[in-house]
Structure 1
Amino acid sequence: MSGTFSSPNYPLGYPVGTNCTWTLVTYGPEKLMITFHRVQIGDEQIIVYDGDSEQGNYLGVLTGNQREKVVYTEGNVAFITFRTTGDNQYQRAGFNASFITVYL
């Protein structure tokens, strides 16, 4: 299983006050490998959790400008948040990412 996701309007810039969540699910003993190919979000944050909510184990945070950041889940579900503060005066490109099922 594989797929992609991105911030709204990527790479043309996400709107002020963006509030997005993604839940990625695979089956059985499989895990997820999530690759953030390009991140341009200034002071905003992308947070990755293991499980189906923000109560899951914290797997990582991305901020600023990054390339090729890879996150592996511990289980078969990942919950990802991208919330902007609404006070960012500079429009950033946002981010794009992909995920695949892996056996670890």
Structure 2
Amino acid sequence: MAVRDKSATIDRSGIVQLHLSVAKQCSVEIREPRDTLTLSRRKNGVNLDLIEDNPNFTGLKTAQTIPWGTIRALGPEGLRILYRVRTGSDVTLVPEFEFED
């Protein structure tokens, strides 16, 4: 459905919501800064889960976004994040920037 490049800045709480999805699969991949953030997901509007496998990429399947799901980043205040969001049929659940320098 969509591929968007976005940016966000972490606020005083140390957390920024990168994407909110309602009944659509989605993925978020950090472009910059790599390997410095902690990603978390809130699935089904309740369950919070920290991403440990790849600190630069995570996704939510459609069932995990009913009624809603979010992907958030945790890091130091003021850090600017560049990231890519994929939604709907454009979600591959495979990192795109894995091998970039």
Aligned length: 82
Could you list the per-position Cα deviations for residues 28-66 of structure 1 after superposition, in whole angstroms to 9, with x for gaps in the alignment?
3x2112121222575xx332214246x42333462xxxx
- Listed as ranges, the gaps of 5+ residues in structure 1 are 9-13, 63-68, 87-92
Corresponding residue for residue 20 of structure 1: 15
Corresponding residue for residue 7 of structure 2: 6
| Larger Rg belongs to | 1
Q: Decide whether aligned partners of structure 1 residues 35 and 58 sit closer, same or farther in structure 2, where only a CA change above 3 A counts.
A: same
TM-score (norm 1): 0.49
Corresponding residue for residue 70 of structure 2: 78
State yes or no: 1:58 paired with 2:44: no
CA RMSD of aligned residues (A): 3.6
> Which of 41, 48, 53 is the aligned partner of 1:49?
41
Corresponding residue for residue 27 of structure 2: 33
The Cα shift of 1:2 comes to 4.9
Whether the 8 Å contact between 1:50 and 1:59 is mirrored in structure 2 is no
Higher helix share: 2
**Which whole-Å CA distance do the structure 1 matches of 2:58 and 2:42 have between them?**
10
Corresponding residue for residue 98 of structure 1: 84
Could you list the per-position Cα deviations for residues 3-25 of structure 1 after superposition, in whole angstroms to 9, with x for gaps in the alignment?
444343xxxxx79x672320623
TM-score (norm 2): 0.50
**Percent of pairs identical after alignment?**
2
Whether the 8 Å contact between 2:26 and 2:88 is mirrored in structure 1 is yes
